[in-house]
Structure 1
């Protein structure tokens, strides 16, 4: 079963980096169906979605769609959700319904050689929607994707220390992912700590010194990375060893 065509377009979303793994709802098969559907409106974009898909994968929508709609025309509106991430969320829900559940990506053997990767923030934003809509199976999948992305990004940072452009790109990727996390959420707080740990161990110190301006507008990330470096320095002084980067396994 697949979604019907969506109507409006969000021009801004097209300018953002592409997501390699996440399946956009709008790229799914288009099959005729008389099954009941609901319209989800996110800002200026409308998605017409089969109710069975929403109810199967979301406790939030299961409860919502079992009650009479507050709006008489069967429309659910979200003013605080980016259509880009709703499209990814729905794409995963449809893939679980119509083909098979996604398999979390395996860690890359040579992440530094990959030309394109799914932005860490994309995984995190969709993970947050899974949490919001109580989509447990999808949430578990996204959580594994995030951990793999952190590990691959770390190893790419560690191994590409001489490639300044790649260091900048990965620096922004980690920063954007970190800034998207909600620190008051226990699971997301742990992910935030992982991002800082793996970034601080992977980034070239020279690259951080000369390119930190790339992420100066991500103040929480910059502050936490500084604390991470301070801890590394304190540990080195205690053990009387040199401050060194190291390639980590996992997470």
Structure 2
């Protein structure tokens, strides 16, 4: 089955970091050239997608595509979805329609040495689309991807305490991921709590002190990290122990 055809400019700008998520899951095979399709428009980009793929993996699309379109030309429009993340979502949907076995990524043994990693924010944004479109199977897969990314990021933080540039990059990755979450959703709120816990235990204190300005544009993240440090300090005072970082397993 062929990947979703796309028009207009590329959804992944050259100015943005590449995503392993997109590179890994934009492969599939064509079932039939005359299979019914629908056009999805996100802001200024258009995706031509097989109807069967959307209906197979989304209760939302199963419902809306099983009755006549409100739009007479068979177009579904979303003005509030970044085409970059719609491309990722469609790529995974197509991969779930292929013969490629789908397993979540394994935790890295040496995440601090990895040259390329999918931004945590990418996983979260696609996870939110899976929730929005009621793509249960894909949502479960993305949830596992997010947990693995949090664990890898935490261990990389903990082990790269002497590498200021890597500390800053990981700090930004955690901050972007946390701010992308919608805290009104129970599962997303739990993911947010996990992000803060693993960040606080992994970040080098000197790096946070000297580089926090890098993420002041993410006030919710900064506030929750501050609360996390306060909890660690209160615990240390109660038990009369030193405040220190620790490498966590999981999540």
TM-score category (smaller protein): over 0.9
Match of 1:18 in 2: 18
Distance 2:142 2:211 in 1: 30
Distance 1:46 1:38 in 2: 10
* Residue pair 1:3, 1:50 contacting (<8 A) in 2 also: no
SS of the counterpart of 1:76?
Answer: strand
Match of 1:143 in 2: 143
Match of 1:45 in 2: 45
Distance 1:49 1:12 in 2: 18
So what's the TM-score if we normalise by structure 1?
A: 0.96
Q: Number of residues paired by the alignment?
A: 250
**Structure 2 spans left out of the alignment, 5+ residues:** none
Distance 1:109 1:221 in 2: 27
Match of 2:225 in 1: 225
Distance 1:201 1:4 in 2: 41
Match of 1:35 in 2: 35
Match of 2:244 in 1: 244
Task: Report deviation, 1:23.
Answer: 4.1
Match of 2:102 in 1: 102
Per-residue CA deviation, residues 219-238 of structure 1 (Å, 9 max, x unaligned), is 00000000000000000000
Match of 2:68 in 1: 68
Distance 2:22 2:144 in 1: 13
Task: Report deviation, 1:98.
Answer: 1.8
Task: Report deviation, 1:101.
Answer: 4.2
So what's the TM-score if we normalise by structure 2?
A: 0.96
What is the 5 A alignment of 1:32-181? 33-181=33-181
- CA-based RMSD of the aligned residues comes to 1.5
